[in-house]
């Protein structure tokens, strides 16, 4: 439901407040400004590259009635887009949500070859847990087109979870230059912004300075960051933080629930831990979903960010210009996560995955 201006919304709320409260559930929840109307449920696109943590994030999003998943679009990242799409369907099959459209994007980044991922998500990209083959083919279409079409269909309402490289979103913006003004917002997993040394110690791009999603397609990231789109980036400072780790108690709750989703996360955790990594590897992308469920999951700050697109040593690095003096004026500002609330995050994650 979309209203042209703030006056309409105020008038509507005056009527609604005179009605029983349950009616409110079906209508507007929150108003930010005259262009932005949060409907319930919020129509969302999950642009992703499943991948184990994407898979968990899809499950978390699908568990929440506040989201109406209009499409899953896949991008070449952890795996190439076609295989990511097949994996998305396998996940949707598992959780009984096969009706959600799944459409792949291009098989490689904008201007670069598809790179090798030093981290393995397993031979099938889903931790080798024996999930059945996909029950169906992908939906017809091309991921960037689907993004444009949905944003045009639901102006100022669509929230995009960008859980992989930003190739599809950059292509969508190139096709529809007004797209940044037409989305509700983007919550993206990407970058590393220098707030915590762990962001360097656990750098995921295939060099010492970058995060995987931005490393894969730095040109796409620069296009998206420069577009003016309302975007919150959650980088390695938070996404690889030692507090993003399943405790013994978390594991007990997951095990006791017996839900398919909980079993899957435990399987993923076992897979990454056998490989010598922490359980955070299966949780990273869920941070974006949890943040949309409760924005208090992260603390954010606004910084000037540019993407390195030339260097071999630091390709894809998200360079923050913190300088008091001589800071470059041509670098755009981004809202980025500085810290997160682990207790709140795990409450949301476990509630979502164990209730099914
Ligand atoms: Ca991902």
Rounded Cα–Cα distance for residues 223 and 176 (Å): 13
Ligand 1 center to residue 331 CA distance, Å? Answer: 26
Q: Which two tokens stand for residue 191?
A: 């970058």
pLDDT tens for 341-354 read: 999 999 999 999 99
Considering the domain architecture, whether residues 51 and 34 belong to the same structural domain is answered as no
Largest CA distance in the chain: 62
pLDDT at 356: 61
Q: Are residues 3 and 106 in the same domain?
A: no
Cβ atoms 236, 211 nearer than 8 A: yes
Distance 17 CA to ligand 1 centre (A): 41
Nearest to 322 by CA among 339, 337, 308, 302: 302
Kindly state whether residues 30 and 159 are assigned to the same domain: no
Expressed in angstroms and rounded, the spacing between residue 304 Cα and the centre of ligand 1 is 24
Residues 151 and 235 in one domain: yes
Asked if residue 150 and residue 32 are part of one domain, the reply reads no
Cα–Cα distances in angstroms (integers) from residue 4 to residues 9, 59, 261, in the given order: 8, 34, 40
Retrieve residue 128's tokens.
Answer: 């080798």
Cα separation, 71 vs 19, whole angstroms: 34
- Kindly state the DSSP code that residue 221 receives in the 8-state scheme: H
* Beta carbons of 192 and 236 less than 8 angstroms apart: yes
Please tell me the predicted confidence (pLDDT) of residue 30: 44
Share of the chain above pLDDT 90, in %: 81
Model pLDDT for residues 314-335, shown as the tens digit of each residue? 999 999 998 989 989 889 999 9
Distance CA 338, CA 235 (A): 8
Compute how many other C-beta atoms are within 10 angstroms of the C-beta atom of residue 210: 28
Distances (CA, A) of 51 to 164, 198, 235, 255, 295: 9, 22, 17, 22, 25
36 with 125, same domain? no
Distance of alpha carbon 245 from alpha carbon 247, whole angstroms: 6
Half-sphere exposure of 54 (CA within 13 A, CB side): 35
Please write the tens of the pLDDT for every residue from 261-288: 999 999 999 999 999 999 999 999 999 9
pLDDT tier for residue 196 given thresholds of 50, 70 and 90: confident
Helix (H, G, I), strand (E, B) or coil at 46: strand
Interval 13-61: pLDDT, tens: 444 444 443 344 334 444 444 445 567 899 999 999 999 999 999 999 9
Q: How far is the CA of 85 from the centre of ligand 1 (A)?
A: 12
Mean of the pLDDT values across residues 72-99?
Answer: 97
Instruction: Evaluate whether 222 touches 307 at the Cβ level (below 8 Å).
Output: yes
Q: Is 49 helix (H, G, I), strand (E, B) or coil?
A: coil
Q: In 26-76, which residue ranges form alpha helices assigned H by DSSP?
A: 52-62
Domain containing residue 76: CATH number: 3.90.245.10
CA 285 to centroid of ligand 1, rounded, Å = 6
Judge whether 96 and 231 are in contact, CB under 8 Å: no
Is the domain of 121 the same as that of 213? yes
How far away, in angstroms, is 22 Cα from ligand 1 center?
A: 37
Q: How many domains does the chain have?
A: 2
- Shared domain check, 173 and 244: yes
Is 300 in the same domain as 154? Answer: yes
CA of 271 to the centre of ligand 1 (A): 17
Same domain, 22 and 97: no
How many residues are listed for the chain in this entry? Answer: 356
Q: Is residue 68 domain-shared with residue 117, that is, in the same domain? A: yes
Tokens 């010492």 map to which residue?
A: 208
Q: Which domain holds residue 142?
A: 43-354
Q: Are residues 131 and 91 in the same domain?
A: yes
């Amino acid at each position: 439901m979309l209203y042209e201006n703030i006056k309409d919304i105020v008038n509507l709320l005056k009527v609604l407040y005179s009605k029983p409260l349950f009616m409110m559930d079906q209508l507007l929840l929150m108003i930010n400004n005259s262009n932005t109307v949060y409907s319930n449920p919020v129509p969302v696109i999950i642009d992703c590259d499943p991948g184990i943590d994407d898979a968990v994030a899809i499950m978390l999003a699908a568990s929440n009635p506040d989201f109406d998943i209009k499409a899953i679009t896949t991008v070449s990242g952890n795996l190439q887009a076609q295989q990511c799409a097949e994996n998305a369907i396998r996940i949707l099959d598992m959780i009984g949500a096969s009706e959600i459209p799944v459409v792949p994007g291009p098989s490689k980044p904008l201007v670069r070859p598809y790179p090798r991922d030093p981290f393995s998500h397993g031979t099938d990209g889903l931790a080798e847990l024996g999930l059945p083959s996909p029950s169906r083919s992908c939906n017809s279409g091309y991921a960037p087109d689907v993004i444009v079409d949905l944003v045009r269909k639901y102006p100022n309402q669509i929230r995009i979870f960008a859980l992989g490289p930003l190739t599809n979103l950059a292509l969508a913006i190139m096709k529809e230059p007004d797209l940044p003004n037409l989305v509700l917002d983007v919550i993206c997993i990407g970058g590393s912004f220098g707030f915590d040394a762990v962001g360097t110690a656990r750098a995921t791009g295939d060099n010492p300075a970058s995060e995987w999603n931005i490393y894969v397609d730095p040109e796409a990231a620069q296009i998206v960051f420069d577009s003016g789109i309302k975007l919150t980036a959650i980088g390695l400072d938070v996404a690889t933080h030692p507090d993003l780790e399943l405790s013994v108690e978390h594991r007990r709750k997951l095990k006791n629930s017996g839900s398919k989703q909980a079993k899957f996360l435990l399987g993923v955790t076992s897979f990454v831990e056998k490989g010598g990594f922490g359980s955070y590897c299966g949780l990273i992308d869920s941070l974006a979903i949890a943040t949309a469920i409760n924005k208090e999951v992260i603390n954010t700050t606004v910084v000037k960010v540019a993407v390195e697109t030339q260097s071999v040593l630091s390709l894809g690095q998200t360079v923050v210009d913190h300088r008091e003096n001589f800071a470059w004026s041509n670098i755009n500002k981004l809202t980025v996560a500085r810290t997160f609330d682990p207790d709140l995050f795990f409450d949301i994650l476990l509630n979502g995955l164990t209730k099914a």
